[in-house]
């Protein structure tokens, strides 16, 4: 189905969002059923639940999502978990993949997150499924766009405290924070830590 509006690919963040969705769709297309059922970095979710969550905005309207969150006492995580499990039960892996591929240029943005928030959603959850499968990581420059746009609200959401620490990417032009403790790693590994998927310690000097 053609979208009424699409991402403006002249915007670098929007172009990166579309490119990441297309990359993940191609990668998912190669997975075996066992890999779709493998554990992800999201506790309690397999790869297919992660894909169901990533494609949630394409199946469910904003008002219905807000109503669902309200019905769960404002607990988005509890609502998202229940919805991902329900969608996985109702949709085949092929249908979930089609939802992603058909919406590569979908203009969805998370509330108050903007286009960078949409890119972050896809890149972070993409790593949730590619890391345990040993599949290629997102390009370093794409990760840089995510980390460069991470402000106090985003960091607080993941519960990561970067006080006194400076993160330096070894594969792209990125420095996050201004502390004395320097952690130098590839951008994708820094994002895993910032997103609460990996521990930053011990620091690499």
Nearest-angstrom CA–CA distance, 136 and 134: 7
- Give long-range contacts, CB 8 A cutoff, 24+ apart: 183-192: 186/137, 186/140, 187/140, 187/143, 187/144, 187/147, 188/127, 188/137, 188/138, 188/140, 188/143, 190/143, 190/147, 191/123, 191/124, 191/127, 191/143, 191/146, 191/147, 192/41, 192/127, 192/131
| pLDDT tens digit sequence for 45-99 | 999 999 999 999 999 988 999 999 999 999 999 999 999 999 999 999 999 999 9
**Position 24 pLDDT exceeds 70:** yes
Looking at the structure, do residues 54 and 107 belong to the same domain, yes or no? yes
* Residue 126: closest CA among 100, 88, 145, 87: 100
Tell me what pLDDT residue 4 has. Answer: 62
Report if residue 6 sits inside a domain.
no
Looking at the structure, do residues 91 and 185 belong to the same domain, yes or no? no
Report if residue 5 sits inside a domain.
no
Looking at the structure, do residues 122 and 153 belong to the same domain, yes or no? no
Tell me what pLDDT residue 70 has. Answer: 94
Report if residue 202 sits inside a domain.
yes
Cα-based distances in Å from 130 to 14, 40, 60, 112, 198: 22, 8, 25, 27, 14
Domain that holds residue 16: 12-138
Question: pTM for the whole thing?
Answer: 0.92
- Tell me how long the chain is: 205
Report if residue 55 sits inside a domain.
yes
Looking at the structure, do residues 56 and 81 belong to the same domain, yes or no? yes
Domain-terminating residue out of 138, 165, 196: 138
pLDDT band at 141 (very low <50, low <70, confident <90, very high): very high
Tell me what pLDDT residue 162 has. Answer: 82
Q: For the beta carbon of residue 16, count every other beta carbon within 10 angstroms.
A: 26
Looking at the structure, do residues 132 and 204 belong to the same domain, yes or no? no
Number of domains in the chain: 2
Domain-terminating residue out of 103, 138, 173: 138
Looking at the structure, do residues 21 and 105 belong to the same domain, yes or no? yes
Is residue 81 a contact partner of residue 71, using CB atoms and an 8 Å limit?
no
Tell me what pLDDT residue 205 has. Answer: 42
Report if residue 1 sits inside a domain.
no
Looking at the structure, do residues 112 and 62 belong to the same domain, yes or no? yes
Whole-number percent of the chain with pLDDT over 90: 77
Which helix H or strand E contains 183, and what residues bound it? strand 181-185
Tell me what pLDDT residue 90 has. Answer: 97
């Amino acid at each position: 189905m053609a979208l009424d509006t699409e991402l403006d690919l002249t915007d670098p963040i929007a172009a990166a969002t579309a490119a990441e969705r297309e990359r993940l769709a191609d990668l998912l297309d190669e997975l075996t059923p066992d890999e779709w059922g493998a554990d992800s970095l999201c506790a309690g979710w397999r790869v297919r639940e992660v894909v169901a969550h990533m494609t949630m905005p394409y199946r469910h309207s904003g008002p219905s999502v807000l109503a669902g969150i309200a019905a769960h006492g404002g607990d988005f995580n509890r609502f998202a978990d229940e919805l991902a499990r329900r969608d996985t039960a109702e949709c085949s892996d092929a249908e979930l993949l089609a939802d992603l591929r058909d919406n590569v240029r979908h203009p969805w943005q998370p509330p108050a997150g903007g286009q960078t928030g949409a890119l972050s959603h896809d890149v972070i959850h993409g790593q949730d499924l590619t890391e345990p499968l040993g599949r290629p990581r997102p390009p370093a420059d794409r990760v840089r766009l995510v980390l460069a746009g991470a402000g106090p609200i985003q960091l607080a959401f993941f519960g990561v405290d970067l006080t006194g620490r400076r993160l330096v990417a070894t594969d792209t032009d990125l420095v996050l924070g201004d502390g004395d403790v320097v952690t130098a790693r590839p951008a994708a590994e820094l994002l895993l830590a910032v997103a609460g998927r990996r521990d930053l310690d011990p620091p690499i000097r």
